[in-house]
């Protein structure tokens, strides 16, 4: 017998189908919404992709335009531009580089090109290539070892520089000739005046001897001036003599000590580097030191003092010449090493210029320090050997 309160099997299956249908409807709606959302996203991405493609196309066109401008610029540059890869092989070269070097260089090794096409000159980083003079500068361009080589044709600039130096030498020669004529005129006129007096028949023997001595003194002054001019014009080169500092100072002292005694000026020596060794021209260095000492002597009055010091430190020898004179003004200090510049009536103006030329020829220099009423000090700075010799 069938229970009326229990649903039949057919009704149960209908309910299950109804529930499944409802679930299917929900899933269908969800899929529809997801599809619609996906379709919207696709449309959005499509629009973004179109925008990105347009930007990429614009950038590509801009880069192509820039590359074209750079190519035109490289072709128009008067300087040569060479690009090397990591193996130092020429990967690119503009027309100027090929014109300057006169060779098809792309694909060649740069070191081999340097050896075969370029000849080193006396100026660093400048080379001779056929009839051209070129300056070469290298710069790295990436982490793989690539480099960019800039080749400048400096032939015209070098010619202008040589012409300028020639003109400067001519100007200097003209100034020297004018200064020399001025320096020679006074002692020559004085010597002529004294010698003219010697021709007077009524002149006493004592006066004749006095005029002869004065004439000789003026002629010696002329001879010294001409000798110093020739020495300055010829210049000094470092010789190959090996000497001790003590020997050099003794050579200078032998020359100047009588002059100091004659003028009653004290001559003091404080040498802490007597055993240090110098290489160079012993005669030229002694002459330069004598010039400094004579300059100091002329700055002192009777009762004054000139102190000569010699000390070595850091591979350099410092020979100081200090006087107790009135000092040198800043205006005179700026010109004290100029040839023919002098503040003394009978000075040649070449002593300090020659001393500086000798110092520079030996790889050194001369430094000056002075103050009013405190004297002056000239310091001759020279390179020295690290070993020492025993004095003979």
pLDDT, position 217: 79
The matching CATH number, chosen from 3.30.450.20, 3.30.505.10, 3.40.50.300, 3.30.565.10, for 241-383 is 3.30.565.10
What global pTM score does this model have? 0.47
Residue 317 banded pLDDT, cuts 50, 70, 90 = very high
Q: Higher model confidence: residue 204 or residue 392?
A: 204
pLDDT, position 388: 39
Write the CA distances from 249 to 196, 288, 289, integer angstroms: 43, 11, 8
CATH architecture of 168-234: Orthogonal Bundle (1.10)
pLDDT, position 311: 93
Residue 148 banded pLDDT, cuts 50, 70, 90 = confident
Give the single-character DSSP code of 180. H
pLDDT, position 223: 76
**Lowest mean pLDDT: which of 1-10, 116-125, 371-380?**
1-10
pLDDT tens digit sequence for 353-372: 888 888 888 889 999 999 88
pLDDT, position 387: 40
Residue 75 banded pLDDT, cuts 50, 70, 90 = confident
Helix extents (H) in 300-346: 330-333
pLDDT, position 362: 85
- For residues 102-122, average pLDDT: 81
CATH architecture of 77-153: 2-Layer Sandwich (3.30)
- For residues 6-25, average pLDDT: 79
- Ranges of each domain in the chain: 77-153, 168-234, 241-383
List residues bridging with 369 in a β-sheet. 377
Q: What is the distance between the alpha carbons of residues 249 and 290, in angstroms, rounded to a whole number?
A: 9
- For residues 208-212, average pLDDT: 84
CA angle 26, 28, 34 (to 5 degrees): 105
Do residues 391 and 275 lie in contact, with contact meaning Cβ atoms separated by under 8 Å? Answer: yes
Torsion, CA 329, CA 330, CA 334, CA 338, rounded to 10:
0
Give the whole-number percent of the chain exceeding pLDDT 90.
Answer: 13
- Ranked by mean pLDDT, the top range of 92-96, 235-239, 261-265 is 261-265
pLDDT, position 377: 93
- For residues 148-177, average pLDDT: 78
Residue 135 banded pLDDT, cuts 50, 70, 90 = confident
pLDDT, position 379: 94
Residue 186 banded pLDDT, cuts 50, 70, 90 = low
Q: Higher model confidence: residue 160 or residue 172?
A: 160
Q: What is the distance between the alpha carbons of residues 59 and 47, in angstroms, rounded to a whole number?
A: 18
pLDDT, position 280: 84
Other beta carbons less than 10 A from residue 12's beta carbon: 11
């Amino acid at each position: 017998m069938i229970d009326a309160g229990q649903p039949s099997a057919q009704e149960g299956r209908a309910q299950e189908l109804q529930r499944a249908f409802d679930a299917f409807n929900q899933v269908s709606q969800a899929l529809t919404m997801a599809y619609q959302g996906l379709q919207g996203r696709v449309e959005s991405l499509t629009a973004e992709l179109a925008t990105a493609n347009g930007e990429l196309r614009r950038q590509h066109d801009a880069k192509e335009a820039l590359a074209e401008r750079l190519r035109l610029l490289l072709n128009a540059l008067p300087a040569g531009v060479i690009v090397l890869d990591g193996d130092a092989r020429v990967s690119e070269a503009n027309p100027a580089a090929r014109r300057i070097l006169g060779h098809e260089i792309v694909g060649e090794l740069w070191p081999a090109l340097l050896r075969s096409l370029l000849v080193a000159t006396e100026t660093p980083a400048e080379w001779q290539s056929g009839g051209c003079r070129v300056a070469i500068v290298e710069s790295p361009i990436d982490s793989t070892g690539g480099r960019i080589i800039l080749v400048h044709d400096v032939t015209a600039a070098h010619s202008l520089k040589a012409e300028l130096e020639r003109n400067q030498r001519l100007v200097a020669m003209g100034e020297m000739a004018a200064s020399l004529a001025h320096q020679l005129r006074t002692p020559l006129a004085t010597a002529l005046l004294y010698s003219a007096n010697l021709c007077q028949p009524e002149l006493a023997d004592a006066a004749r001897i006095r005029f002869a001595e004065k004439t000789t003194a003026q002629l010696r002054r002329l001879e010294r001036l001409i000798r110093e001019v020739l020495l300055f014009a010829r210049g000094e080169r470092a010789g190959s003599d090996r000497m001790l500092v003590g020997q050099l100072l003794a050579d200078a002292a032998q020359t100047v000590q009588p002059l100091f005694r004659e003028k009653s000026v004290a001559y003091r020596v404080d040498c802490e580097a007597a055993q240090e060794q110098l290489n160079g021209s012993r005669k030229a260095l002694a002459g330069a030191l004598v010039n400094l000492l004579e300059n100091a002597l002329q700055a002192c009055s009777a009762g004054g003092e000139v102190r000569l010091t010699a000390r070595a430190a850091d591979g350099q020898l410092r020979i100081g010449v200090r006087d107790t004179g009135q000092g040198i003004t800043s205006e005179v200090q700026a010109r004290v090493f100029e040839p023919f510049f002098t503040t003394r009536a009978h000075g040649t103006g070449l002593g300090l210029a020659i001393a500086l030329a000798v110092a520079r020829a030996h790889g050194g220099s001369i430094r000056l320090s002075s103050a009013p009423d405190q004297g002056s000090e000239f310091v001759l700075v020279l390179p020295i050997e690290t070993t020492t010799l025993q004095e003979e």
